[in-house]
Amino acid sequence: MNDFFKLISPQEFIALFADFTPLDTETLPLHQARGRVLAEQMISREALPPFSRSTMDGFAVRAADTFGCSESETALLSVVGEIAMGTSGQDLRLKPGQAVRIWTGGELPQKADAVVMVEYTQPFDEDTVAVFRPVAPGENVTQAGEDYQAGAVILDQGRILRPQDLGVLSGLGMTTVPVHRRPRVAILSTGDELVPADQTPPPGKIRDINSTTMAAMVEEAGGRAIPLGICGDDFERILSICTEALQEADMLLLSGGSSVGNRDFTQRVFAAIPESRMLVHGVSVRPGKPTILARQGNKALFGLPGHVASALVIFYCFVRPLMRRYSGLGATLGLPMIQAITDQPIPSAIGREEYVRVRLVPQEGSPLPQAVPVYGKSGLLSPLVRADGLLPIGRDVEGLDRGVTCPVLLFP
Amino acid sequence: MNDFFKLISPQEFIALFADFTPLDTETLPLHQARGRVLAEQMISREALPPFSRSTMDGFAVRAADTFGCSESETALLSVVGEIAMGTSGQDLRLKPGQAVRIWTGGELPQKADAVVMVEYTQPFDEDTVAVFRPVAPGENVTQAGEDYQAGAVILDQGRILRPQDLGVLSGLGMTTVPVHRRPRVAILSTGDELVPADQTPPPGKIRDINSTTMAAMVEEAGGRAIPLGICGDDFERILSICTEALQEADMLLLSGGSSVGNRDFTQRVFAAIPESRMLVHGVSVRPGKPTILARQGNKALFGLPGHVASALVIFYCFVRPLMRRYSGLGATLGLPMIQAITDQPIPSAIGREEYVRVRLVPQEGSPLPQAVPVYGKSGLLSPLVRADGLLPIGRDVEGLDRGVTCPVLLFP
């Protein structure tokens, strides 16, 4: 039983995450790696492209042979062959005055250093082509290794893998890639008043909302949700479910009522979990103050407020940053942020960081949308459904005036 | 064989998508529906919450009984029971002067219209509580139906489902949801010069890059990639692979070389596909001009430029918007766009829309980052790996000056 209730600041909360370490790595085929975080620096083992290639359909030439040519004074070159796609151009060797038919992507023959586009040539006779525009050395050619030299750093550790990044690895024959494992996040809703969403609640009971909401937020943040279902307010049962879930999970999200009794209850459960240590007994954020954090080794145990708006704010402010830390990224929000203009004064109390749910309304003639607060009790869902994001108001700020430019964190 | 090469504008290209219809719908359990597009308007069949609930731990009262009370003159109420969590408060009925112990989320008893927080009460004797702060009717209570009334519109058709949206459906017992099917996108890389990424290319050949890149872009855009692998420049084989793939796929992405010969080849393949109709023979976009679009019924056949940067631009400008259209959204880019400042003059030719790859560099003392062009041949991957997004320059604009505010489409 802990009556002592010390709030920490959001900055102190986030600072705790430095003591958690990124999860171990796994090796994935490229088609499963999009959006995952690279666990090692990737170095090219060979050159890309592996040979000098034409970027055009035309004739591979020695550029010097075309110098000074024009429409009125064409350069006549003897065509000594064609480089069919996928065959080696290096089997051929250009002598001065010679040209070879080549296609986009084809390998240049030996001694060729440029390609004349077919549009700037004319057939002269069966074995001769007339070139009427000169090319500089290197023109219309991608040099061997121009994209990446052997030994070059391709991608840095900690990078979120995008389609083009996977394309490079593919081009270099690196068909698997080491990435950090996705955090496994166990989710438990507690409360004697809860029934599963597929049941009709008897009088006094309601359907579980947090399990569905939290699982979707976990998946959006790149984690794997492990749904533990619902559990009544039974200390021993909750303790045993949590202790067992932590065998597999990297993180536990326990949501209960937002009442004082529930908070104490969750603290007692976390304190009873083997080798656990309490870290946070509340945070100076609104909504979301009665948040609890404990740890068991590198595993994090969150006691989330039961009110859905509070739980959502705490998820985006703290759970998601820790999931990012687990995944090998910085412990930052990682949410898109845009600028908007307040459409009305928005009050806020000094001493806590406030997250106001806002709708964004495009404004005629302004590049910035209006931020319109969506007020409502933190137990209600409809304000969250209507809102586009959260407007943070710092703890030393006593609200915002109308017409002020402010940042808005967009819901993902 | 089509020598006639009529470019259409990007706007005309996008306008063609109005003739494609969204895909049919499927019904999914909530835990699979995040990020999917709602296919029908959702109407609440019941009230949420189903009953009036306390938002605090405290005492359910008739508010009038507390009017005028203060620290010095407390209101004494007789405590006639407790509403345990998950039990029906309506089994009790408050007479004037009575109060009932209640917890956060508990159902109010009959005739109670407010809750006094426990912090504003003191035990007086075993059956009596002293209230020293008055409450107004409705205070600390969420009314039945305050979130949603029965018959209310919860979510509109065409909405991308977010965690809180799924939470509402869960709370209302709607455990499945109708969404548009994900587009199935078949991907074929063609060219005699290609080998699969897991092979070492012999002289003159290179590894396939587009299959990996395109599949990842398709998945990012919410589609299901159907990888068809690579195929040499064999008309009959490509035709048969494409024709068969279109039995299952909603869309086909064929990438070949960017050469004139290849473009004609792809056009001939598309023209030979049963019931196909050519729509686009080229678009005034750079890079990406030699793009082809045909249709077979409601299925789209894209001939993408072989150069990876061109293919990527065309994917984000046209393929992704059509995938969004298929998914029940608008045929818009759907990419996050931010404002940035050019760090140098950026040239562009009149008559075509240009997409310049740019890096974003944060600037000390400015809310907007600098947009720094990453130049490089469109066949190279490294500029795409280094870039954060695309800076569009309209077709009637002759480049941008240094220090100009410009939009940047962020790579997803």
Q: What pLDDT is stored for residue A260 in this prediction?
A: 66
The mean pLDDT value of chain A amounts to 94
Q: Which of B34, B28, B324, B328 is nearest to B165 (CA)?
A: B34
Chain B hits for A53, Cβ within 8 Å: 206, 379
Interface test with B, best of A90, A149, A381 (most B CBs within 10 A): A381
Interface test with B, best of A385, A408, A410 (most B CBs within 10 A): A385
Opening angle at CA B222, ends B217 and B228, nearest 5: 55
pLDDT bin (cut points 50, 70, 90) of residue B378 is confident
Q: What pLDDT is stored for residue B91 in this prediction?
A: 92
| Digit-coded pLDDT (tens) for A128-185 | 999 999 999 999 999 999 999 999 999 999 999 999 999 999 999 999 999 999 999 9
pLDDT at B96 exceeding the cut of 70: yes
Nearest residue of B to residue A388, measured between CA atoms: B162
| Digit-coded pLDDT (tens) for A321-336 | 999 999 999 999 999 8
Q: Distance, in angstroms, between B84 CA and closest chain A CA?
A: 9
Q: What pLDDT is stored for residue A3 in this prediction?
A: 40
- Maximum Cα–Cα distance for chain A, whole Å? 98
Q: DSSP letter for B159, please.
A: P
A-B interface: how many C-beta pairs under 8 angstroms? 274
Of B87, B147, B207, Cβ closest to residue A204? B87
Chain A hits for B215, Cβ within 8 Å: 31
- Please give the share of chain B, as a percent, with pLDDT higher than 90: 89
C-beta atoms of A171 and B51 within 8 A: no
- Interface predicted TM-score of the whole assembly (ipTM), two decimals: 0.93
| pTM of the predicted structure, to 2 decimals | 0.93
pLDDT bin (cut points 50, 70, 90) of residue A259 is low
C-beta atoms of A197 and B106 within 8 A: no
Q: What pLDDT is stored for residue B336 in this prediction?
A: 87
Q: What pLDDT is stored for residue A239 in this prediction?
A: 97
- Please give the share of chain A, as a percent, with pLDDT higher than 90: 89
The bridge status of strand A153-155 relative to strand A42-43 is antiparallel
**Cα separation, B300 vs A223, whole angstroms:** 34
| Digit-coded pLDDT (tens) for B313-339 | 999 999 999 999 999 999 899 998 889
Q: Which of B397, B345, B395, B339 is nearest to B369 (CA)?
A: B339
Burial of A353 (0-12, 13-18, 19+ CB in 10 A): buried
Nearest residue of A to residue B83, measured between CA atoms: A204
| Digit-coded pLDDT (tens) for A367-381 | 889 999 999 988 899
Q: What pLDDT is stored for residue B306 in this prediction?
A: 84
C-beta atoms of B191 and A225 within 8 A: no
pLDDT at B25 exceeding the cut of 80: yes
Q: Distance, in angstroms, between B255 CA and closest chain A CA?
A: 13
Q: CA separation (Å) from B314 to A305, B16, B287, B290?
A: 46, 15, 8, 10
Q: Which of A228, A227, A249 is nearest to A237 (CA)?
A: A228
Chain B hits for A51, Cβ within 8 Å: 203-204
**DSSP β-bridge partners for residue B75:** B131
CA R_g for chain A? 31
pLDDT at B1 exceeding the cut of 80: no
Cα distance between the two ends of chain B? 37
**Cα separation, A121 vs A69, whole angstroms:** 11
Q: Which of A234, A214, A235 is nearest to A226 (CA)?
A: A214
- Please give the share of chain B, as a percent, with pLDDT higher than 70: 98
Q: DSSP letter for B241, please.
A: H
Q: Which of B181, B266, B255 is nearest to B212 (CA)?
A: B255
**Cα separation, B323 vs B301, whole angstroms:** 12
Q: What pLDDT is stored for residue A95 in this prediction?
A: 97
- Please give the share of chain A, as a percent, with pLDDT higher than 70: 98
Are A23 and A64 in contact by the 8 Å Cβ rule? The answer is: no
Interface test with A, best of B53, B87, B90, B104 (most A CBs within 10 A): B104
Q: What pLDDT is stored for residue B80 in this prediction?
A: 97
Q: Distance, in angstroms, between B102 CA and closest chain A CA?
A: 11
Mean pLDDT of B114-140: 96
Are B100 and B76 in contact by the 8 Å Cβ rule? The answer is: no
Of B86, B306, B384, Cβ closest to residue A204? B86
Q: What pLDDT is stored for residue B327 in this prediction?
A: 96
